[in-house]
Structure 1
Amino acid sequence: MKPELNLTARSAWLDPVAPKPAGPDRPFWTALAAAVIVACLGLALASGRLRDYTPFGPYSVTVPLSFKTYDPARWAVMNAEDYEAALKIDPTLPDPNSVGYADATALPPADPAALRDEAFVGPPAKSYVFRGVTALDRERAHYCLTSAIYYEAASETDDGMRGVAQVIINRARHPSFPNTICGVVFQGSQRAGVCQFTFSCDGAMARAPSKPNWLRASRIASAALGGYVFPKVGLATHYHTTAIWPRWGKSLVMTNIVGAHIFHRWRGRWGMPDAFRAPYLGREPVPGPYLPVAQQLAILKGQGIAPGAGPLPAITGPAAAAPLPDVAAAPLPSTMAQQGRDIGTPTAPAPATPPVTYSDPRLNQSGQIRQEFQKSGEWIR
């Protein structure tokens, strides 16, 4: 009979099991030591003490180049006359039209004079079309801009008139000024001596405009309201005659001299294209001047006082019988507003109308500059 093997019995040849020491288990101490080491490494990394040791220190990467220092094929591609010639050398070149780039050879050559002007004047204004809500708004904007162009630059060339028009357009698009054409032109005209454009508060509008220069100013105003940009003055918002230099001249950046006017723009970002983004309201106020011309003349002659300082004394002389009418309230030179046409639309010649006459015979001298109007067009100091 074969004896059975007892596999569970311990062999006498094996070493006896070592007695278990008293106290906590040894794995606990091992885990605690590992945790302390990890914490120390984290603190060292956070403090940057291991930045000079690998693998935590600086390292370098080598990128293989696909061409030599002097590769004739690459030089031939860069010196190719056009894209087709370069494509014959390297068929893997990407299509420039795929990213929206136009063919440079199709662009007209750059004008050196235009580049010099742009470097001196600064960036030009962006084209903007002033569309009034109604035909009356469009006619008011056209009349106000025409008045400013005429009374500020009637003796100037077309470029001189365009410079004045561009300043008014720039102001209407800038948040520092009213966002309407009439608001910009007649800003401050309700008080003598604080108007932005002196013709609106120094009695200059008492002169009846000459028809040829008024029509020329009207044509330039129509183009400016229709989006025409005069780049020679850039983003100018101020100007003055060459005969004076105001105190604020040094605080602005001069852009150019056109005719008898020196043009300036704001410094810094306030004078860059991003600032000229004020929306056009489309609702034009009633054209000025907001201080009657009769009161302007009285103040100019020393026979009146500014608004708010007391009652206006009576005007003596031939004009005492009736107040002087306001030229701004007279019929406009064109009949576009009454016929509901857009600004700049040519119209048939209107029937001849009698000229506007004034109670004071001294004002019925069209085309002649009187002594009190010799400085008309200059900024008030």
Structure 2
Amino acid sequence: MKPELNLTARSTWRDPAPEKPAGPGRAFWAAIVAVMAVACLAFLLSSGQLRPPAVFGPYSVSVPLDFRAYDPARWAIMNAEDYEEALKIDPTLPDPASIGFGDAAALPPADPALLRDEAFVGPPAKPYVFRGVTALDRERAHYCLTSAIYYEAASETDDGMRGVAQTVINRVRHPSFPNTVCGVVFQGSQRAGVCQFTFSCDGAMARAPSKPNWLRASRVASAALGGFVFPKVGLATHYHTQAIWPRWGKSLVMTNIVGAHIFHRWRGRWGMPDAFRAPYLGREPVPGPYLPLAQQLAILKGQGLPPGAGPAPMLGGVGAPLPDVAAAPLPSTMAPTAPVISSPVAAPIPAPTYTDPRLNQSGQIREEFRGSGEWKR
């Protein structure tokens, strides 16, 4: 018989024995593990997290650990309709009033309509009472706000008037606008057609107000100056009628539609409640309009300034009273003794002409829209 070959046998002269890696042996690492275990045990004993039962007594748990997932009894208690039904299942349940939940049950239920309006409109304005420095300041603020409410929303409901009043109040409290009521209402009224509130520079105030609607606007103004907040427009600082959509509408956030007006507020932090913290000055300027009504109507009709009427004065400072700008003739005792020398007027620049006659009509108003915006007597 031939002897079997052992192919796995190592040849001592052909395969040298492997060298042992240099470094610590098993005994060294076992010692390191033992030292770490002793250190951890000492730390737990010193921190009180591990207490030997021989010294501190047996460890006990005060909360019963018999609750199991999907426990039928506990599940029935948690799904009970009220406390009385749960008490029938477990008579040892504590009284809810004894752990501080009694007051929450006494609160009135939240109105779903109010929650829906606030989610759509945004946060409401904070109440603020406008107290003028003097009785004259308070009377001026009331007149200016009443004028804005009447000439902007005289034909609307009380909510429509309150929306306009809240917008004016929001502007007074915002640092982007004057910090007086009259300053906000008649801002820019020294220029015809470019004021903040259209009625103050388009000749609308030449119309005598209706007594019933004026009294209604006066009541709304008194409430707004006294701290009443109309939450349906939120922190709106702009509005316009539903018949138009101005180019600045896309840059703001619409809050609501009340009556004939669509209300908007600033975007971002400038439209949040923290931005409406401008202090009320308390010194009201002379109510406007700051351009006489005769000049407003003449400018809007394309007739320019009436003869002898100069430009209206500009507001000199925040809340500074304005002089009377009525274009009445001077009395005979104040007539100037020297002749008035008029300044030379530059000749008008002729309009450019084009070969195509249709281009020569650019900038003109079509005949059916020529009287748009004029006061009808």
Amino acid at match of 2:153: A
CA contact (8 A) 2:127 2:228 kept: yes
Q: SS of the counterpart of 1:264?
A: strand
Matches within 5 A, 1:19-168: 68-70=68-70, 72=73, 76=77, 81=82, 89=92, 91=94, 103-168=103-168
Which amino acid in structure 2 is aligned with residue 166 of structure 1?
Q
Match of 1:280 in 2: 280
Matched, 1:259 2:234: no
Shift of 1:200: 0.8
1: CA distance between counterparts of 2:297 and 2:97? 72
Q: List alignment gaps of at least 5 residues for structure 1.
A: 1-54, 56-60, 313-321, 326-369, 375-381
Residue 372 of structure 1 aligns with an amino acid whose one-letter code is E
- 2:219 maps to which residue? 219
- The equivalent residue for 1:186 is 186
Q: Distance in 2 between matches of 1:241 and 1:294?
A: 26
How far apart, CA to CA, are the structure 2 residues paired with 1:131 and 1:204?
29
Helix, strand or coil for the counterpart of 2:105? helix
Please name the residue that 2:249 is paired with.
249
The Cα shift of 1:198 comes to 0.8
For 1:90 and 1:235, the matched residues in 2 are separated by 48
How many angstroms does 1:169 deviate by? Answer: 0.8
Q: Counterpart of 2:134 in structure 1: which amino acid?
A: T
1:346 matched to which residue of 2? none
> Could you say what secondary structure the match of 1:139 adopts?
helix
Question: Is the CA contact 1:73–1:89 (under 8 Å) kept in the aligned structure 2?
Answer: no
Question: Aligned with 1:263: secondary structure?
Answer: strand
Contact 1:293/1:324, CA 8 A, preserved across alignment: no
- Alpha-carbon distance in 2 for matches of 1:76, 1:193: 71
CA distance in 2 between counterparts of 1:126 and 1:258 reads 20
Q: 1:76 deviation in Å?
A: 3.6
Distance 2:160 2:207 in 1: 21
- The normalised TM-score by structure 2 is 0.59
Relative to structure 1, is the Cα distance of residues 263 and 82 closer, same or farther in structure 2, using a 3 angstrom cutoff? farther
Contact 2:193 2:300 (8 Å CA) reproduced: no
Residues 373 and 259 of structure 1, relative CA distance in 2, 3 Å threshold: farther
Residues 292 and 327 in structure 2, CA contact (< 8 A), matched pair in contact too: no
> What stretches of structure 2 of length at least 5 have no aligned partner?
1-39, 41-48, 50-62, 312-325, 330-371
Let me know the Cα RMSD of the aligned residues: 3.5
- Report sequence identity in percent: 79
Corresponding position: 1:240 with 2:240 = yes
- On the 8 A contact 1:174/1:277 being kept in 2, the answer is yes
Counterpart in 1 of 2:299? 299
Structure 2 partner of 1:197: 197
* Aligned CA distance change for structure 1 residues 143 and 82 (closer, same or farther; 3 Å): farther
Mapped partners of 2:80, 2:276: distance in 1: 42
Q: Which residue does the alignment assign to 2:374? A: 372
Q: Report how far residue 183 of structure 1 moved.
A: 1.1
SS at match of 1:257: strand
CA distance in structure 1 between the partners assigned to 2:273 and 2:167 by the alignment: 14
Judged with a 3 Å threshold, the aligned counterparts in structure 2 of structure 1 residues 281 and 311 are, in CA distance, closer, same or farther, namely closer
Question: For each residue in 1:177-222, what CA deviation from the matched residue of structure 2 results, as whole angstroms up to 9, or x when unmatched?
Answer: 1111111111111222321001111111111111111000000000
**1 CA distance for matches of 2:79 and 2:297?**
72
- Alignment length (residue pairs): 255
Question: Cα gap change, 1:182/1:112 in structure 2, threshold over 3 Å: closer, same or farther?
Answer: same
Aligned-pair distance for 1:112? 2.1
Q: Is the 8 A contact 1:294 1:324 kept in 2?
A: no
